[in-house]
A and B are shown apart, each in its own frame.
Chain A
Amino acid sequence: MSGVLVTVILLFGLAVIVVRRRSVAIGLVAAQSLALGIGALGLAGGRSGDYLVASFVLLTKAVVLPVLLYALIRRTPEPRLVVAANGPLVRLAGAGAVALCAGLLMPPLGLGNSHTEHAAVALVLIGIAIVVARRPLLFQLLGLIVAENGLALLAVSVPGGLSYVVEIGALFDLAMVVTVAAAFAHRIHVELGTGDTERLGGLRD
């Protein structure tokens, strides 16, 4: 996969931690999945069928999950903007530092392409950072998908490709988790009138 495309995929992930609107964040994750699918498709020419399956899986993800998430935000309108604990620049700096640490500290994973390795690990960490830093339920869900896209980036770069059983299985699992999480988000919205996870917290010892 070209270095430029990998960088673009990484930047889409970083942008999710900054934007305020849920619909924009969904669009960014959809664009990231689409870029990944196109990259995998580029690798598929003249290689094993597993690459083709990976491309199909990633393109499906780029369409199906955003549709599901758009439907969710239509059903769970926020009465007012959920105020973030930290400003967008602080969040960006935090996520950027995490990504940089991945680049500096991560030893080679054996892929022979350090740019892809670092970007994939950075995306997983950025996904975790999104879950930690963003309060709205939907953003936490998008954090999971960004982390999963990091894994997909590494998976499509494995020499010979990862087995289609794993690719399809992982898509099925992710779709199941996103569906259950969407059901949770809807129910929580019904219960609290908002998707702000800060309002949920009541379990402490």
Chain B
Amino acid sequence: MTDLVPVLVVLVPAIPLVGAGLALLARTARQADRLAMATAVVTAVAALILACTAFARGGRAALHGRWYLVDGASGLLLAVIAVVGLCSALVSPSYLRTSGRSWTTAARSRSLYYAALFVFWAALLAVPVAGNLAVVWLIVEATTAASALLVAFTGRRRALDAGWKYLVLTTLGLSVALLGIIVLAIGQANAGHHDLHALDWPTLRHAAHTLPKDPTLIAFVLLLAGLAAKIGWAPVHNWLPDAHSEAPAPISAMLSAALLPTVLLIAWRVKQTLEPSVGVATTRAVFIAFGLTSMLVAIPFLWQSLPWKRLLAYSSLEHMGVIALGIGFGTPLAIAGVVIHVAGHALAKALGFYAALPLLRIDSDAGRRAPTGVAGESPTTAAAMGISLAALAGLPPSPLFLSELLIVLGGVAAGQVVVTAVAVLALALGFLGLLHALIEGVIGEKPAHPRRRPERGQRTTVALTAILGTGLLALFAAGVLLVNSSFVETLTRGTL
């Protein structure tokens, strides 16, 4: 199976790129939809085969060639991106049928939507397997251009505002990260390593202890600060709630469930790579600082009555904080929690955003105000929203309950008792905020004067709720087996 890896590493991002080109050639909406479905299925299958190959290696060392690196973390992210990308592509025709206004003419909008979606998906799939820091930066920058167009797809003023903010802030952030990469390149050049491969993950890891301490520390801080803007860590998260709430729901799902953890993987790799030079205490402190800040900043927003997608966006801020905290603790328990959290958050958050499609169909004002009593008018939509929200809040048997418990225990094991106590408090407050939204918005009383259209065509919602809900339960069971596995041990030790 490992013989296939070099081929799959090329094929996985290449298939959606070809799909993007074909989407532009589609003559009718029906043709574009069919092409998109076929491309999405083939892409997801190829990506899942590659992910399974990485998982099957268990605790063994990473596979790497001249341009690629496949390890357990690559497998995890590939699986997440494949599943979320496939689901987003599958619900897109339903979104496009009812979206109404778009940036371009109606005839072109469908083709351009699919082209941008597949370019974005291709770039996301390339990140976890790229074996070089500079190349990873180039790919992440490419995701910005494609996804900014999708954020502003409707062409409405608020969507344009969100798209512009996203484009400018994340590009500036990535400029800061590139400054960090150049500082690392200077250190490597001074040590006699001039070519591009001086910035390969394994090369950097092996050379880290010989790199000058102060410039490497500056590079680390610049890289983390720059990537934070793209991950959406507080305090550089301003674009996140706007982009997630204004983008089409399938794209919001990709942004939150796939893009954020994918960029977080880069930050994690940077930590593993530069730790020998920068020191464990410093890298741990930076991750914990970003993690705790993000969790604390999210709380007041989780307590507000916000429109559904905006609430989910602030929940992303909280969950990226939880993942950062787990990586910062760096103990086997915390890393097991991180693995489960990345996957569980992706499934629950994607389901939440897909639920926004029928929600907006039955109540067009749901994009501007908090939903109320959805269960009374659309039980299927309410079920999707309820499962998503309960899972995100960490209500057992949500895998996020298990992952948060593991991260907390990992924090105690790391000797970070005060940080862990603050994190537990933040998690409890976040839980109460989401529980309030669940009670008021989903299972609460119907509004006195509903202005809603009757629900129809709910097959997609039912199917996605069943599949993703089952996935969440399966993840809870698998998560229990993950603790103390060689897979987690290798991730904790570092695979680079």
Contact = CB atoms under 8 A, between A and B. Distances in A.
B3 interface: no
B158 A203 contact: yes
A163 B187 CA distance: 14
Contact of A187 (B160, B165, B172, B218): B160
A124 B167 contact: no
A187 B103 contact: yes
Contact of B178 (A131, A151, A181, A188): A151
Interface string B159-185: 011111101100110011011001101
A176 B145 contact: yes
A169 B148 contact: no
Given A110-B187, A163-B134, A154 B157 contact: no
Contacts of A197: 164
- Max chain B C-beta neighbours (<10 A), residue from A109, A110, A151: A110
A165 interface: yes
Nearest to A151: B178
A200 B178 CA distance: 29
Nearest to B103: A187
B178 A170 contact: yes
Interface stretch (B14-22, B188-196, B466-474): B188-196
A151 B214 contact: no
B289 to A, nearest CB: 20
A109 B183 contact: yes
B142 interface: yes
A203 B179 contact: no
B135 to A, nearest CB: 7
B167 A180 contact: yes
Contacts of A108: 214-215
Given A124-B175, A154-B182, A163 B215 contact: no
Contacts of B345: none
Given A147-B175, A151-B178, A201 B215 contact: no
Contacts, number: 134
A85 interface: no
Q: What's the interface size class on B, roughly?
A: 35 or more
Q: What's the interface size class on A, roughly?
A: 35 or more
B182 A162 contact: yes
Contact of A205 (B149, B162, B310): B310
A183 B149 contact: yes
A34 interface: no
A110 B183 contact: yes
Interface in A77-124: 107-111, 121, 124
Given A109-B215, A111-B186, A151-B182, A124 B176 contact: yes
Contacts of A159: 186, 189-190, 194
A70 interface: no
Given A144-B171, A144-B172, A205-B306, A109 B161 contact: no
A191 B178 contact: no
A176 B148 CA distance: 11
A160 B194 contact: yes
B161 A184 contact: no
Contacts of A188: 160, 164
Contacts of B186: 109-111, 154, 158-159
18 contacts: A107-B214, A110-B187, A127-B172, A127-B175, A137-B164, A144-B168, A155-B182, A155-B185, A158-B182, A158-B186, A161-B194, A169-B134, A170-B178, A173-B141, A200-B157, A203-B161, A203-B246, A205-B310
Interface of A: 48, 107-111, 121, 124, 127-128, 131, 137, 140, 143-144, 147-148, 150-151, 154-155, 158-163, 165-166, 169-170, 172-173, 176-177, 179-181, 183-184, 187-188, 191-192, 197, 200-203, 205
